[in-house]
Copies of this chain bind each other. A is one copy, B any other.
Amino acid sequence: MATFVIANGAAAMDSDVTIFFTFWGINVLRKAQPPRVSKGLLDRMFGMMMPKGPGKLRLSKMNMAGVGSMMMRYVMKTKNVMAPEELVAAARAAGIRLVVCSMSMDVMGIKKEELIDGIEIGGVGAYLGRAEQADMNLFI
């Protein structure tokens, strides 16, 4: 949530924004209905245990077996705050670059076809190169 609120805000203020996704963060970019891809057993297990896309994200605190997350979604809707999946869509519409860490994809056994369209794949070098040029750089 914080990542996309800040990124969308910066894009609205005409900044060039790139978001790098590592490990659990990649789950936000997974398709809810991914195509079948060939995978080993462990990769398949990892994939099943992790949330698929922003619609499946849970609160970092007070999740309470999903009740807290449902409450939060309900509250955000009644107060006209964007849901996680709307924040992702807005980021893409605003031209924010979404780069996924290649090592994380490899470790978690996630293939590019399982992720939403329009993302890029990059390593730590790509991240550092981009961060060096930037005025602001947050680890969230």
Contact = CB atoms under 8 A, between A and B. Distances in A.
A89 interface: no
Interface string A71-93: 11011100101000000000000
Interface bin, chain A: 35 or more
Nearest to A81: B107
A138 B140 CA distance: 9
B136 A131 contact: yes
Given A79-B107, A137-B138, A2 B22 contact: yes
Interface string A39-74: 000110110011000000000111000000001101
Contacts of A138: 137-139
Nearest to A49: B62
Given A124-B9, A140-B139, A75 B107 contact: yes
B124 A42 contact: no
A128 B42 contact: no
A94 B128 CA distance: 17
A103 B81 contact: yes
Contact of A75 (B46, B49, B81): B46
A10 interface: yes
